[in-house]
């Protein structure tokens, strides 16, 4: 089979006049999208659609007696796709015997059996669970000596050409727009090569590697040209952190600053995204600018607050012309002059603000976000990690305690993998010195700690911590959480350490939640019988701990919702230190004074293992207290800019209903 090739000049010409432009015809909605983009409710639904397309292609090629040549990606985005393909193999008879696969990339230098290698990733996620012949899957070799790399990269690409090219290329996308490891600046005609990784790429991978210092600086990647030569390309993106780069690739110009934009000229490409990753696309962010919409209350709030922010005018100063000039004339036609609309939206936002997150006793709660009764509530705060409670809702936590509510905190996981080795060594030394200093003869304890110390001294970055080391690290984080509870003012008897089993793998890769995880949550809810539940609503990363922890909570709530005490229970969702709810979504905003902001900071400081060199910092080099303060200040400034009261900071919540 011959393989179609496309010149860089042709790609750029097609990208500027490919018929996917931004102007619509009469009677049709305007489209800003230059790449076909399918939006799914969540990543599971999207992953099933992609897995179904791949399985159909494999079966079609089998009928034709031909090999199916797949280009495969790694990272978190395709994990569910691979899991569904494995299930199809086991339950639906999908065979991979005719599949030939080529992976996009591999870190350099990287041994294939390292826990960080993409060789190991692909074997654990797919190859070891299906019947693909070992001689049929290929991955770049991260151990090739430097003098041989150029020839090796050429030969890797030649192998693809020798089997007729890629029938299907699966891609993820980096936060900077990279596809494979083709970083910004990569040329459209680039081929397979060794590349230096961008800092943002290494920072994004730091979680998997246990810190930025462990992430390799180089990688081997399939070039842009062979990716574009695949007959079919599907790119996956999940979560709000990918939203801006997806918008840039789909709606922006073709540019080397966002290599994914090169896909605009491909003849058969689809971006498959969840709602969060699609949130910056014009048809999602401002749908009234693209097509007619149903002007329900949520859409009106979204449009009016967006208009206010865009024009930098308080809501009550918006005029009819502002509406007409910004695609909202049909809203005016439906509801009349903008004055009444402005007042309605302004009042709704004003009613979200409360200094009484547990409800204000003996007050009219008609327009308050929380009920006045019962005056003293039992409150259960779920914290995925041992510091999410104080980072994400520390001001609200403190206020609930100060206002006399019975507050419990459930720390869902041990958080042990987020403790640096040297921090663990420091505590081990303290315990040993403590025992020696006070003549405490505890041979078993000393041996346990000395074994852990010896392990840490000789461990390699690619090794999983021993059970003893994980225990030490978990105890460190437990002690910090208890210190926070004492600081806020609740007894440590109201701190519940759940140590959910799904988390305890010793690696970033976790087990799926199981019955035991859900039962732990269900039993705690039954024990406390809360009037309020607070939980992390960070659903952006489908493989993140916050999302998995919420899945367990939701499953437990669904099981418990028929019980009498649950009729009086409201569930509020908070977000972490990276992002906040959109203003039109917020249903409760708890203001903080300057003194309360400082007190929250001091509470965060109780988590000393997470200061001065956080293990999983991501792309943001700031410490968690800095991120939280900027986010809370930003929320307050947004309310102020819309014309509402000015506060130092705010924590925001959305109510989840059964």
The whole-number mean pLDDT for each consecutive block of 10 residues of the chain, a chain of 658 residues, reads: 38 39 46 94 94 98 98 94 97 98 96 92 96 97 96 98 98 96 97 95 82 90 98 95 96 97 97 95 94 94 97 97 94 91 98 98 95 97 96 97 98 91 85 84 75 75 76 94 97 96 78 92 98 88 77 96 95 85 96 97 93 57 84 96 97 95
What local confidence, expressed as pLDDT, does residue 134 receive?
96
How many helices (H) does the chain have, and how many strands (E)? 21, 17
* Residue appearing with tokens 């840039």: 248
> Any bridge partners for residue 380, and if so which?
408, 533
Q: How far apart are CA 256 and CA 273, in angstroms?
A: 22
Contacts 24+ apart (CB under 8 A), 508-515: 508/207, 508/208, 508/417, 510/543, 510/545, 510/548, 512/548, 513/548, 513/551, 513/552, 513/555
What local confidence, expressed as pLDDT, does residue 568 receive?
93
SS3 call for 117: coil
What local confidence, expressed as pLDDT, does residue 28 receive?
52
What local confidence, expressed as pLDDT, does residue 212 receive?
82
Q: How far apart are CA 351 and CA 655, in angstroms?
A: 14
What local confidence, expressed as pLDDT, does residue 31 receive?
74
Residues annotated as catalytic (active site), given as ranges: 183
Mean pLDDT of the chain: 90
What local confidence, expressed as pLDDT, does residue 540 receive?
58
């Amino acid at each position: 089979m011959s393989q179609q090739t496309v010149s860089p000049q042709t790609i750029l010409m097609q990208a500027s006049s490919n018929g996917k432009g931004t102007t619509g015809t009469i009677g049709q909605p305007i489209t800003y999208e230059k790449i076909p983009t399918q939006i799914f409710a969540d990543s599971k639904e999207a992953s099933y659609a992609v897995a179904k397309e791949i399985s159909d292609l494999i079966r079609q090629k089998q009928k034709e007696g031909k090999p199916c040549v797949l280009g495969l990606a790694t990272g978190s985005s395709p994990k569910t796709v691979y899991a569904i393909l494995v299930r199809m193999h086991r339950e639906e008879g999908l065979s991979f015997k005719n599949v030939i696969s080529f992976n996009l990339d591999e870190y350099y230098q990287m041994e294939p059996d390292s826990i960080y290698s993409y060789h190991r990733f692909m074997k654990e996620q797919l190859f070891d669970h299906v019947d693909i012949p070992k001689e049929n899957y290929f991955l770049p070799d991260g151990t090739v000596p430097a003098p041989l790399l150029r020839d090796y990269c050429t030969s890797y690409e030649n192998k693809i050409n020798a089997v007729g090219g890629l029938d299907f290329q699966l891609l993820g996308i980096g936060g900077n727009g990279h596809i494979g490891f083709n970083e910004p600046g990569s040329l459209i005609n680039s081929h397979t090569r060794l590349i230096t990784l961008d800092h943002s790429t290494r920072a994004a991978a730091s979680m998997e590697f246990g810190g930025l210092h462990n992430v390799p600086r180089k990688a081997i990647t399939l070039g842009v040209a062979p990716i574009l030569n695949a007959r079919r390309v599907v790119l996956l993106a999940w979560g709000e952190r990918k939203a801006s780069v997806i918008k840039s690739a789909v709606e922006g110009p073709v540019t080397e600053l966002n290599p994914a934009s090169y896909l605009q000229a491909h003849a058969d490409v689809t971006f498959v995204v969840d709602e969060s990753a699609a949130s910056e696309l014009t048809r999602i962010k401002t749908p009234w600018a693209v097509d007619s919409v149903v002007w329900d209350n949520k859409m009106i709030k979204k449009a009016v607050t967006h208009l206010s922010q865009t024009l930098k005018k308080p809501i009550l100063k918006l005029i009819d012309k502002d509406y007409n000039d910004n695609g909202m004339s049909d809203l005016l036609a439906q509801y009349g002059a903008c004055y009444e609309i402005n007042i309605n939206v302004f009042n709704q936002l004003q009613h979200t603000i409360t200094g009484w997150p547990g409800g204000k006793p003996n007050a009219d709660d008609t327009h308050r976000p929380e009920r006045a009764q019962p005056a003293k509530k039992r409150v259960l705060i779920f914290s995925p990690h041992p510091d999410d409670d104080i980072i994400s809702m520390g001001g609200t936590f403190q206020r609930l305690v100060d206002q006399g509510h019975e507050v419990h905190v459930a720390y869902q996981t041990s958080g042990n993998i987020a403790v640096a080795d040297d921090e663990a060594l420091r505590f081990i030394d303290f315990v040993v010195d403590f025992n020696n200093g006070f003549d405490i003869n505890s041979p078993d304890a000393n041996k346990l700690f000395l074994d852990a110390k010896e392990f840490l001294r000789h461990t390699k970055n690619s090794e999983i911590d021993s059970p003893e080391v994980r225990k030490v690290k978990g105890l460190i984080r437990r002690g910090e959480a208890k210190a926070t509870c004492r600081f806020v003012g609740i007894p440590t008897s109201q701190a519940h350490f759940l140590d959910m089993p799904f988390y305890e793998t010793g690696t970033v890769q976790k087990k799926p939640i199981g019955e035991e995880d859900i039962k732990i949550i269900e039993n705690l809810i039954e024990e406390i019988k809360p009037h309020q539940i607070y939980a992390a609503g960070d659903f952006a990363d489908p493989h993140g701990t916050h999302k998995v922890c919420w899945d367990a909570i939701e499953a437990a709530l669904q099981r418990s919702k028929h019980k009498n005490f649950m009729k009086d229970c409201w569930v509020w969702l908070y977000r972490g230190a990276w992002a906040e709810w959109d203003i039109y979504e917020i249903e409760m905003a708890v203001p903080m004074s300057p003194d309360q902001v400082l007190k929250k900071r001091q509470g965060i400081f109780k988590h000393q293992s997470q200061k001065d060199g956080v293990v999983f910092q991501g792309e943001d080099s700031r410490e968690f207290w800095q991120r939280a303060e900027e986010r809370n200040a930003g929320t307050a400034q947004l309310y102020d800019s819309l014309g509402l009261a000015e506060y130092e900071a705010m924590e925001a919540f959305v109510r989840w209903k059964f």
